[in-house]
Chains A and B, each alone.
Chain A
């Protein structure tokens, strides 16, 4: 993996007061993204607008495509042209992009997609918050594959995690989602953008060997194949069909097993390196509150109230939602009495928690159907009942 420093032209160093959407755009620019193909959708449009107004001065491409299907297809094409690419969307657009997200996963193309979630399903609540696409990020496209999804809880994290998303997608050649929501997306807060020299970036593994020996999908020692871009004389072929090391389609069960297992192992075997969580006071806790995104900030109030009431509460904030931090949660499940999972959906990540804990402790879901954040008292009530 080649490490590189950010291009100062794209880094708006300084202390800013901006919302999450804008921070995502700035994060992308700081990470070296110079290609954005998108489609306007509330509440994510501000990211596209900011990118469109910033990129002509930096040097890059912004194109508003005719729909989200075209956006994701153009992004994959541009990624094979060697560029770092991103787009931003919300629920309905996310659904439209799903087929080609599968293509990006199959072709092992680095792309970054930010989903500023809103109330669903269907057109739902365009202007109000939700966290209802978490399972869709994991299972949205057909077939078996793995992706990475990050969940920022503030505009500052929107900036930081977008850069992290780019680095992860370049290392693992996989679509990476920044799963934020309308609340964080439209919330104005202080965002500190460091100088370019302090931003660490990773480039994809470019192949540098002899042209006639290049195999597009031959795994390197770390389990990830080398990548090339069009126009460098490799005359390679890549396809969405099940393929072998040469990138040629091979339609049989043996190749399918190798191909699909590779897509799965690429992320599962490296899960420990990818996963980021934030734990607070989990030692000796009776109740553990697992949350992510904006809900973690609302849960903070409930947790403070519970601690004042004498309950030993620990928190685990999922910064990486997929791959799911199974190992740590399994360990904690043995030590705590119960786990409370508040989320702005009818219960999605809680299903993973239930699966992983496998009955070792009680799991309490605190769903919220969308449109607003939780009332901290609802979470407090759940914590009290969980003891």
Chain B
């Protein structure tokens, strides 16, 4: 593979036929660090956060009132005709909930479409790729209804603005974003000794308390990495420090007033916060309120284990499933020397020999493959519903990795027999849509200058139709890897 091919496919998102091939690949990549659009034109239709939160709040309120009505029905000993029948209540609430759920799903489709269109049209494909990398590092998953409308906003509001900044700033933006606070159950976590916790205990009502989900995943997935020396008690202490980190505009009842704040904005709710000092990995944090968890996050971001964890993942993404240790060390040093300055890490990647190895190093995941296939046929937008459905069929529905660990970044997770057949199915569909307008033989030479294999060249040339030739090109060994 030529360095041009590597820059365009391994660092970038694939070649577009209407693009000039960069003459100096490394300079082309470095220039992108200066020209990245945080909010490109493709985002024009993306709904505002307040709007998404309002829809979600309406949904949750409908759910609460349906539950309340049901309970009242069950307790009341009124004659059956004095109140609407349970089925009527259920149906009305059901209709409203259904409508709101569709609205929220529509938000998701619009946001996914914006992500796809940005990837197809961007002038900075290397930085867009890094956005996708970080969004996966800080994964949320739309398996939970409240996350469906928020997942895209996490990427647009917390990842994109910091992709060329400091890791610590991205970390705090992510952990304070409503998508993450809701996804990992932080928004509802209550300090047992907090005002809210004590009151609930005194009333002897429903137990409310600590949820350690976010604290654990920050340590295990977002910063230090698993088995790096933190203990169960560090996780629990961190969970206590994080109590009070919540979101405005979602709670019902008296809690809504107490949390306050604009809908969807991060709020520190003192009445939920576990008072007192916290000790984590031998260090004591005496900060009051919100500052406590923030101080812990900053220390986690500066930890050598975090530097190694992040460096390993970056090296795996650009230099192969088994990340070369020399590259990992170089990145780790750069991380620690620069205080987690992300562009410094990207420059190390560009300057290092390992990501420029001439043989293919990575099997593309469905997202990478779809984006590069659409770029290859010169597509600059896709029907929003089709885009969402396509990625789901290929096994990688956007923002739905199913777990906070995000999608795997190794071939074994993507190169499966059935997965391969699905790519052939999609390739046929893309090729059929592109029609005879694309000459797959010329395109093949353009996509893989100097590295097109004889088998692929021959298969494309011998195809029974232009569309079939294009489909074969899109599933060729060269195209499936980067």
Same complex for A and B? Answer no
